[in-house]
């Protein structure tokens, strides 16, 4: 099984390596019940082949996939959706009411991502295509879906984005959170395992994110999955919640302290880099900072946007 793309997370839950950027950076989750499959998150377009390989490895046909839950519109989570639609003939695509229009016609998400990623866009995403609108269904907070009798309940905590989906799988005692809780990918060197917040444009809302982590922890699920990347166990959740909340407070401070600078975005970028290098590789003279360049660009842009809106309102 050296070439496996799967990690068995128990209770019919499988973590699939999405193949985005590097190993253990972004996962898609499969939930399997009685030969029927639900997929949580659709990653980037290139993840289609990974999901195809995962289904084959589990001896499941693409026709067995009944649901695809699209966690939110950021392209590293929605970019694969249209490609999955072509691969999975029976799947219903479930998303937040605010996401449906853009899932069917992703042009605005593509343009926004090209603005952010510039010359890297093609390498990261390539061709992004829409999901046929007749296959898209929206779901409000609290809506439940049955997968072979297994209940999957949608939750919509904001903070990372206004169109965020989490999915509570009571049978597996697992809540899938995508980017709704926080960010903990494997990083090179002796990086510390600490939660980070990626305040990606354009809907970062620290006060809502603060509530979201409380809400997710309050579910008392045995495990929560995060898209970047893996599972958090209940025993570590209080510490993880504290890490996210500390990070949110730090970001608000960065926004406040850079508001009067000549170039707030440059100042936020500088503060964030310094903060993450110290947090992730404390005391290292030559930390592999290039591994977080993309995170810094994305988080700084989103925080600067929040600063502009929030500080203008204040
Ligand atoms: Zn995101």
What's the confidence (pLDDT) of residue 1?
A: 46
**Paired residues of 174 in beta bridges:** 169, 223
Other C-beta atoms within 10 Å of 192: how many?
Answer: 10
Domains of the chain plus CATH, in order, are 6-243 (3.60.15.10), 247-313 (no CATH)
Q: How far is the CA of 1 from the centre of ligand 1 (A)?
A: 31
Q: How far is the CA of 149 from the centre of ligand 1 (A)?
A: 30
Instruction: Give the separation between CA 84 and CA 68, rounded to whole angstroms.
Output: 8
Contact 128, 109 (CB under 8 A): yes
Low-confidence stretches of the chain (pLDDT < 70) are 1-2, 312-314
pLDDT tens figures, 20-48: 988 899 999 999 999 999 999 999 999 99
Taken in order 305, 308, 309, 310, is the CA torsion positive or negative? Answer: positive
Q: How far is the CA of 18 from the centre of ligand 1 (A)?
A: 15
Q: How far is the CA of 285 from the centre of ligand 1 (A)?
A: 31
Q: How far is the CA of 59 from the centre of ligand 1 (A)?
A: 31
Sheet strand arrangement including 92-95: 6-8, 13-17, 27-33, 36-40, 65-69, 92-95, 136-138
Instruction: Give the separation between CA 198 and CA 313, rounded to whole angstroms.
Output: 23
Query: Using the 8-state DSSP alphabet, how is residue 173 labeled?
Result: T
Query: Using the 8-state DSSP alphabet, how is residue 74 labeled?
Result: S
What's the confidence (pLDDT) of residue 312?
A: 65
Locus of tokens 């084959």 = 56
pLDDT tens figures, 143-194: 999 999 999 999 999 999 999 999 999 999 999 999 999 999 999 999 999 9
**CB-side neighbour CA atoms (13 Å) of 55:** 20
| DSSP E strand stretches across 18-88 | 27-33, 36-40, 65-69
Q: How far is the CA of 195 from the centre of ligand 1 (A)?
A: 15
Locus of tokens 């649901």 = 67
Helix, strand or coil, per DSSP, at residue 88: coil
């Amino acid at each position: 099984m050296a070439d496996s793309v799967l990690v068995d997370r128990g209770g019919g839950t499988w973590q699939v390596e999405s193949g985005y950027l590097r190993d253990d950076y972004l996962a898609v989750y499969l939930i399997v019940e009685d030969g029927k499959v639900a997929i949580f998150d659709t990653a980037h377009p290139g993840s289609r082949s990974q999901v195809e390989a995962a289904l084959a490895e589990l001896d499941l046909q693409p026709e067995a996939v009944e649901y695809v839950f699209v966690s939110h519109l950021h392209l590293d989570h929605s970019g694969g959706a249209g490609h999955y639609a072509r691969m999975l003939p029976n799947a219903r695509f479930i998303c937040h009411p605010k996401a449906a229009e853009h899932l069917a016609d992703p042009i605005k998400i593509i343009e926004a991502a090209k603005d952010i990623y510039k010359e890297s866009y093609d390498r990261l995403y390539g061709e992004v295509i829409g999901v046929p609108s007749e296959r898209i269904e929206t779901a409000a907070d609290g809506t439940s879906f049955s997968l072979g009798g297994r209940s999957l309940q949608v939750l919509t905590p904001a903070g990372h984005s206004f169109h965020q989906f989490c999915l509570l799988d009571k049978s597996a005692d697992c809540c899938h959170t995508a980017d709704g809780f926080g960010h903990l990918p494997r990083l090179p060197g002796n990086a510390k395992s600490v939660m980070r917040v990626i305040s990606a444009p354009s809907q970062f809302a620290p006060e809502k994110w603060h509530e979201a982590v409380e809400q997710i922890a309050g579910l008392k699920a045995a495990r929560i999955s995060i898209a970047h990347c893996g599972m958090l166990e209940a025993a570590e959740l209080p510490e993880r919640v504290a890490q996210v909340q500390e990070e949110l407070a730090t970001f608000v401070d960065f926004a406040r302290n850079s508001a009067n600078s000549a170039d707030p975005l440059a100042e936020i970028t500088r503060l964030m880099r310094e903060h993450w290098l110290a947090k992730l590789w404390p005391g290292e003279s030559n930390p592999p900072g290039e591994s977080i360049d993309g995170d810094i660009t994305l988080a700084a842009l989103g925080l600067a946007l929040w600063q502009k809106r929030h500080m203008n309102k204040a």
